[in-house]
Structure 1
Amino acid sequence: MNNWFKNNGIHLAIIGIFIALCFAYFSPVIQGKSLYQNDVRQAQGGQKEIMDYRAKDGKAPLWTNSMFGGMPAYQIWAEYPSNVTSYIISFFKTIFPTPVDTVLLYLLGAYLLFCVLRIHPWLAAAGAIAFAFSSYNFQILEAGHSNKALAIAFFAPILAGIILTLRGKYLLGSLLTAFFLALEIRSNHIQMTYYLFLALLILIGIEIYHAVKAKTTTGLFKSFGYLAAAVIIAVGVNAGSLWTTYEYGQETTRGKSNLTAENASQPADGLDKEYAYGWSQGIMENITFLIPNAYGGASGGELDEKSHVAKLLVEKGIAPEQAAGAAREMPTYWGEKAFTSGPFYFGAIVFFLFVAGLFIVKSRIKWWILSAFVLTLFLSFGKNFPLISDLFFNYFPLYNKFRAVESILAVTGLLVPMLAILAVKEAVSGEQDSKTLMKGLKTALYITGGIILVVLIMPTLLLDFKTSNHDEYIQQWVQRVGDQGLATEIVNALVKDRISMARADAFRSLIFVLIGAGLLWALIQKKITAQLAFMLFAGTILVDMWTVDRRYLSNENFTDNQQIQEPFRARQVDELIKRDPTLGYRVFDLTTNPFLSVDASYFHHSLGGYHAAKLKRYQELLDKQFSASINEDVLDMLNTKYVITRSEDGQSERIQNRETAAGPAWFVPGIRWAKTDDEEMAGLNSFDPKKEAIIHEEFKSLIDAKKVGVPVNADIKLINYHPDHLTYEYSAANDVIAVFSEIWYDKGWNTYVDGEKIPHFRANYVLRAAQLPGGNHKVEFKFEPTSYYTGETISLICSILLIAGLAFAIFVEVRGKRNTELAPNT
């Protein structure tokens, strides 16, 4: 045991430093405060019904009616009790508060990777800091993109496992790959995982090339075999979540259109290209890798009373406080994104070392890093460089399912510090003479320093500092101040502020680049010891990244736990509606954009909500029946009992009680058949949902027209509501067609009459319907998706295999080291 602590003491010390850094950065958590994250708040709104029933029943329902009339709960929040990674992530989050847990995972995962790359521990710590404190990794924490952050945290350890496997550590490497890949998948951000795999495909290609060239394909393909098994196990561990996600994905806005292309507002398959490319990185915007505020930083709030804008307004007679407030509202970001939380900043020292690595690193991993860097860079451009982006969007599997293509730069954020740290390692390896190393250092200094000096001395030579709608923005100010000249002066002052921000950060970056170059020079010339240099690199990188990250995530982002635990406050209208004891009704809140807000979902069964992947049928219904004007018949069939609107003065909310709402279920005397989905949708334009049901002809075989009669003195009531188990009682003299105001989803809902399963079918484009036998009966709808329950069985089996295999691999590794230590010298 003493030997173990002796051998691993430095690793334990570094881990301790990582923990201390996390708590130091997020010191408010020690005071019991929590990070306010808007996307987490949004998630809480959509999860409210799920969590309420979880607290009541001890398990979460698999369906919720809180958003978009109804959708699978496992796309919002779900338990996967058979998945071992659920417990691992939960355990880690229990020990460390948010967001300490995520940043610590950033650090530990990257540290493992750099150790696997045979980097000295203190230099590995510097690399881990460079990756973890990359500005984007903190911006997504501030925004509340928790799943994305977790997925990024597992990039590095997955790569570590792959590298170990390729080196011949087949068992340990592949099982570590399986373990971290299982955690990656469980993070439930498929887009990030997909981007990582794009980079790994290049690695595989390079490894195959070198193996064929060196005639060592046997060992390589053995590694591939182990890695393939690792992928199968990781996928199997997450079978429940992957299967349900895949199944659901086919039915969402990312799947195929149900309407014909000329009639549908959505593309035939995948996302609309304009929507997918909505957040594309500007080609010159990548200068922020080196100079964070070169493009103005975040979208707003960057200016203060010392800005050119504020000073100009004060000169024009505006009170200083008002002038400062107006300046804070000015859009300092001048790129083409709709808005941004901040730039992709990889660190001035880190980027300098990355460029140096291009010239001094000789190992073939450099060529993978460079190739993946170029690919991720080009793909991040999206609409700004469609030549490559469109190739992937149109032809590469699944690529058109994702939006915000700039986020692929999260992978770049790992590649840059990797090559940077390898450059420092090369400088002390002794494999190259100091003359060659100094040549690489000077070239990197000329490139990075030259870019910085141009921005510092002649900023407009490289950058414009004006948006493409600059003239339109001036006209907005003309309307605001009523003076063309003054409006132009104000906007010109804003441009001056943007230039000042770029220059200030250019000077800042120049200082850090010179520090980095000085340390690398001292290391090459052996003016300082390697360990001291590594620690100085870690310290200066931390100072550089920490101070920039503070611009986007600081103590001001934390708030009292009470606000986090109660993210929404009920209005008077919400309280009044909640007094209604009837079951199954829905609410349509028009006081905000109902399809970008979860406020109503927190308190009611809402027609609106916010989710990245709505059911495509529901989206098509919104496009056709709600965009030009609201179809009252559709509101009726969705059992919309209450509509919330604002008063004419906009100061209060009002409730519209809709007595025409059809109720949770009803019988219809007639059927109108539709030959196509388009015809089915068109039928909703003018119909009475209580008198007829519009049914697609594909369901004709499920209806026995000879038995169906007109529902006379028939009645049906919802007597028990549970999100994934609805119970009705009805009475009818003969067979009848019942329509239920429940959203159609044929991947798990089953219908039972007195315990016996019967078929159900789609009606009115988005609802469920069934032919019910005459008499007095009980009808039940149960959500029983095979994808979830069978997936959980597979998950349990693979979880056992993973843990048992990993334990065995660690045992073999430890025993092998012990035998090596005990072996006599020969």
Structure 2
Amino acid sequence: MNFKKLIPHIIAVVIFIILNMVIYWPLFMENKTLNQNDVIQGRSANQEINEFREKTGEEALWTNSMFSGMPAYLINVQWSGELLKYIPRSIEKIIPTPASHTFTAMIAFYILLLVFKVNPYLAIGGGLAYGLNSFFLISVEAGHIWKVAAISWMPAVLAGIILAFKKNYLWAFILTALTMALEIRSNHLQITYYLLLVVLVFGLFQLISAIKNKTLPDFAKAMAVLSVAVILGLGANLGKVWTAYEYGQYSIRGEAVLSSNTESSGGLDRSYAFAWSNGIWEPFTFLIPNFYGGASQEEISMDSELAKGLQSRGAGSGQVRSFVKNVPTYWGDQPFTSGPYYMGAVVVFLFILGIIFVKGPVKWWLVSASVLGIVLSWGKNFEVFNYFMFDYFPGYNKFRAVSMTVAIPFLCMPLLGFLAIKELASANWSAVKKQFLTVLGVAAGLCLLFVVGSFMMGFRGTVDAQLGDQAWLVELIREQRASMFRTDAFRSFFFIIAAGGILYFWKENKIKESLAVGLIVTIIVIDLVPVSKRYLNDENFVRQNRGELIAKTEADKSILQDDGHYRVLNLNNPFNEARTSYYHSSIGGYHGAKMRRYQDLIENHLQNEMAQLVEKLRSGNTDLSDFGVINMLNTKYIKFGDQAGQVITNRNANGNAWFVGDVKEVSSPDAAIAALGNLDTGKEAVINTNKFDLTQNQISTGSIKLTSYKPNELVYNSNNNSEGLAVFSEIYYPKGWNAYIDGKEAKILQVNYVLRALEIPSGNHEISFEFQPDAYFVGNKVMMLCSIIIFLILIGGLAYQIRKSL
């Protein structure tokens, strides 16, 4: 084996590790962790599942910690058949999470460029450009760990696909199967879907090329190899995909249940999906980070004109210091942003260079995919295309926050940019010199054009209205935005000139190629790291461990004196926080895929009851008997603060289960949810008889008590004098729950729009609910089989390659 060939790869790994240490220094050297909001929320949502796993060694599969109960598939489930998890875990042994995802992204893009036969040392620059851009690192800071994991594997999947069309079928099969399995394992189907769009565009151009060049047999062979590889990668995640698909049909991403929900057509509501849409000009943050003022709130220097203006108005130094820490500098179209998506001025310049210098289907694929990603990110700001995509393109309406489609250009534009340098290296300089200088002039000139144009821009943001009639303050903020805009425009101009100068002097034989490559890589790092560090810096790291971040409050301690099974309503933004779920079963939560029916319940009843509840509590009245929906969810405690005295015990909660004396029959979901508004849920139930049949005539009185609680198994004891209908304060879900009365399976009914019910014979009975979804148990076995096959072909491929090189 020629070990000299390994030297560039070893150097690449070392450089990637060093840069990760720079970015995540407190993580490596100070034993700190990232204070990530979404991670904290996720840890809260996971707590019941984790505790059950640690106590029993089993998987919960269902949790009552959020939204009165939901499947745990999209929260935290471990799969014994998921053998491929040991690959990322091996990386994490050396490089801690989330730095491991940044390292993976760098390696994956490096491999992609090697597949295109880019100089390995230049490919290092590509890996750094892909892993250090602010889109990636802002996502890390926000705690979108599954998202960044999926983004990190995208280039490697593409590398495998490219190999198939280069007729390297063995490694195309191995790399595609392995990385597709790891991509899907990342559990962020939205990013994987965007990768599929990139692949579809690639396939289209390859098909056109095959028809044009009469190479359809080669195209068919590549597609056959890739199809088997993708199926194998999918099989290694079958349980995950199956459960996600199964649950998706009943979530807010599935079909609407109520006829009044006209926006939903088998997916998310359009207004919800497009809430985070880029403005038409927002992609210029790829080139100029502060094009739209950066994050929603930025810290400004005390030496800034804004600070001086506040001081001149009589504000004290303390007031000024407090204000400049959170200035509303963002003036774009999104309701909130953690920071701009900065690709890098050098990378954008190289991309423009690639449009001119790279030829053939690869160029048109990368340009088309980049444009597609940008147009999709515009969302509601480009209705004519994006509403069509949402309404008619398969699967597209399952995903929200369309601004995330910038993941496509962030993959494709750097790739075309580094292919441009490869083409420039072999080009006849005298023949292309003029084109090169033209591109340099256009890219750098664009930055200067924005500087000139900024004097005619208003820098007005929707947030300005919140400042009331303080026109002078609004004007100071707008001047600050303009200053930030111009500073970063000049910054990008100088980086483009510097990168262009390096390439120019290289081709003029003034500097050696090795030096030019080193300088380009260096300038990319110098360009990207300071911008990314604006949003991921030492202040984002905390020394305390995550357990301490979710400390038990006095209110929690007060509630936890009750060791029964009940639910808690946190009146402080309950449907957008998961902290309550860390210690309690909550009727609220934090998740992007609530059950459709539960969302309907929130919108049609819970929000109204909460508003009425607040007014009643303010008047000092704690009689909650008229809050039927809150009571039927067994909401025993109302929490409105963190102090022990800020908890109210709801003595009117219906409990875990109860017999009803009257059943109202309706013929549609609309009628069922409407009836809830006038229902005494402790004594009455409503059932849609078009879906569920009642076989009993008698209405029972009696008692029913919960005797054993596990997330995936509930046991009750009933004592009733005649046949009757028992209602359970548990969410009805048709896929996986089985009910047994004295060991004999019983049919689960859906009542009160969201709850379970059983027809119970007279007498004493043991009743149990068990969650046994086929999608988990069958899917797990298939995952193990496919994972073993992937490992075997990987080992075989490596052995073959080593033997071949000896």
TM range (shorter): over 0.9
* Cross-structure match for 1:525: 508
* Cross-structure match for 1:568: 550
Q: CA deviation at 1:289?
A: 1.3
* Cross-structure match for 1:25: 23
CA distance in 1, matches of 2:579, 2:424: 56
* Cross-structure match for 2:615: none
Residue in structure 2 matching 1:671, options 659, 663, 670: 663
* Cross-structure match for 2:620: none
1:299 and 2:280 correspond:
no
1:274 and 2:271 correspond:
yes
CA distance in 2, matches of 1:364, 1:244: 38
Q: CA deviation at 1:28?
A: 0.7
* Cross-structure match for 1:482: none
Question: For 1:761-783, what per-residue CA distance to the aligned partner results, in whole angstroms no more than 9, with x for missing partners?
Answer: 11111111111222322111000
* Cross-structure match for 2:653: 661
CA distance in 2, matches of 1:641, 1:652: 15
Residue in structure 2 matching 1:447, options 442, 445, 453: 442
* Cross-structure match for 1:705: 696
Residue in structure 1 matching 2:567, options 561, 566, 586: 586
CA distance in 2, matches of 1:575, 1:120: 61
Question: For 1:514-560, what per-residue CA distance to the aligned partner results, in whole angstroms no more than 9, with x for missing partners?
Answer: 11001110222222222221111111101110111110101111001
Question: For 1:56-93, what per-residue CA distance to the aligned partner results, in whole angstroms no more than 9, with x for missing partners?
Answer: 11233111101000001112111011022223233332
1:312 and 2:301 correspond:
no
1:343 and 2:340 correspond:
yes
CA distance in 1, matches of 2:513, 2:264: 57
CA distance in 2, matches of 1:265, 1:638: 27
Q: CA deviation at 1:327?
A: 2.9
Question: For 1:350-401, what per-residue CA distance to the aligned partner results, in whole angstroms no more than 9, with x for missing partners?
Answer: 1111111111122431111111111111111111111221121111011111
Does the 8 A contact of 1:116 with 1:163 survive in 2?
Answer: yes
1:494 and 2:477 correspond:
yes
Code of the aligned partner of 2:58 = K
CA distance in 2, matches of 1:16, 1:645: 51
Q: CA deviation at 1:455?
A: 2.6
Q: CA deviation at 1:651?
A: 8.5
Q: Secondary structure at the match of 1:74?
A: coil
Q: Secondary structure at the match of 1:627?
A: helix
* Cross-structure match for 2:623: none
Question: For 1:261-319, what per-residue CA distance to the aligned partner results, in whole angstroms no more than 9, with x for missing partners?
Answer: 3xx48634312222211111111222221111121111112322122221111111111
Code of the aligned partner of 1:12 = I
* Cross-structure match for 1:127: 126
Does the 8 A contact of 1:671 with 1:694 survive in 2?
Answer: yes
* Cross-structure match for 1:75: 74
Question: Any stretches of 5+ residues in structure 2 without a counterpart?
Answer: 611-625
Q: CA deviation at 1:348?
A: 1.2
CA distance in 1, matches of 2:24, 2:493: 28
* Cross-structure match for 1:236: 235
Q: CA deviation at 1:243?
A: 0.5
Does the 8 A contact of 1:265 with 1:620 survive in 2?
Answer: no
Question: For 1:131-159, what per-residue CA distance to the aligned partner results, in whole angstroms no more than 9, with x for missing partners?
Answer: 11111000000000000000000110001
Code of the aligned partner of 1:585 = Y
User: Relative to structure 2, which stretch is displaced further, 781-790 or 629-638?
Assistant: 629-638
CA distance in 2, matches of 1:421, 1:766: 54
* Aligned ranges 1:744-783 → 2 under 5 Å: 744-783=732-771
Q: Secondary structure at the match of 2:608?
A: coil
* Cross-structure match for 2:614: none
CA distance in 2, matches of 1:469, 1:559: 30
Question: For 1:208-251, what per-residue CA distance to the aligned partner results, in whole angstroms no more than 9, with x for missing partners?
Answer: 01111111110111000111111111111111010000010000
Q: CA deviation at 1:809?
A: 2.8
Residue in structure 2 matching 1:645, options 637, 640, 643: 640
CA distance in 1, matches of 2:777, 2:450: 58
Q: Secondary structure at the match of 1:282?
A: coil
Q: Secondary structure at the match of 1:747?
A: coil
* Cross-structure match for 1:604: 584
Q: Secondary structure at the match of 1:181?
A: helix
Does the 8 A contact of 2:553 with 2:643 survive in 1?
Answer: no
* Cross-structure match for 2:595: 615
Q: CA deviation at 1:645?
A: 2.7
CA distance in 2, matches of 1:668, 1:15: 66
Q: Secondary structure at the match of 1:54?
A: helix
* Cross-structure match for 1:433: 428
CA distance in 2, matches of 1:258, 1:306: 57
CA distance in 2, matches of 1:667, 1:628: 26
Code of the aligned partner of 1:19 = I
* TM-aligned CA distance change 1:632 to 1:468, over 3 Å: closer
Does the 8 A contact of 1:35 with 1:98 survive in 2?
Answer: no
CA distance in 2, matches of 1:74, 1:458: 51
Code of the aligned partner of 1:571 = T
Question: For 1:179-206, what per-residue CA distance to the aligned partner results, in whole angstroms no more than 9, with x for missing partners?
Answer: 1111111111111111111111110010
1:220 and 2:211 correspond:
no
CA distance in 2, matches of 1:7, 1:738: 72
Does the 8 A contact of 2:61 with 2:77 survive in 1?
Answer: yes
CA distance in 1, matches of 2:705, 2:790: 49
CA distance in 2, matches of 1:314, 1:201: 57
CA distance in 2, matches of 1:329, 1:265: 40
* Cross-structure match for 1:546: 529
Does the 8 A contact of 2:295 with 2:329 survive in 1?
Answer: yes
* TM-aligned CA distance change 1:629 to 1:688, over 3 Å: closer
Does the 8 A contact of 1:279 with 1:404 survive in 2?
Answer: yes
Code of the aligned partner of 1:550 = K
TM-score w.r.t. structure 1 length? 0.93
Q: Secondary structure at the match of 2:375?
A: helix
Question: For 1:96-129, what per-residue CA distance to the aligned partner results, in whole angstroms no more than 9, with x for missing partners?
Answer: 2122211101111111111111011110001111
CA distance in 1, matches of 2:556, 2:54: 22
Q: CA deviation at 1:339?
A: 1.3
* TM-aligned CA distance change 1:645 to 1:556, over 3 Å: closer
TM-score w.r.t. structure 2 length? 0.95
Does the 8 A contact of 2:331 with 2:463 survive in 1?
Answer: no
CA distance in 2, matches of 1:468, 1:606: 34
* Cross-structure match for 1:823: none
Q: Secondary structure at the match of 1:298?
A: coil
Residue in structure 2 matching 1:683, options 675, 686, 696: 675
* Cross-structure match for 1:511: 494
Q: CA deviation at 1:655?
A: 2.0
Question: Any stretches of 5+ residues in structure 1 without a counterpart?
Answer: 479-486, 819-826
* Cross-structure match for 2:459: 465
Does the 8 A contact of 1:172 with 1:810 survive in 2?
Answer: no
Code of the aligned partner of 2:157 = I
* Cross-structure match for 1:481: none
1:393 and 2:390 correspond:
yes
Does the 8 A contact of 1:26 with 1:100 survive in 2?
Answer: yes
Does the 8 A contact of 2:293 with 2:329 survive in 1?
Answer: yes
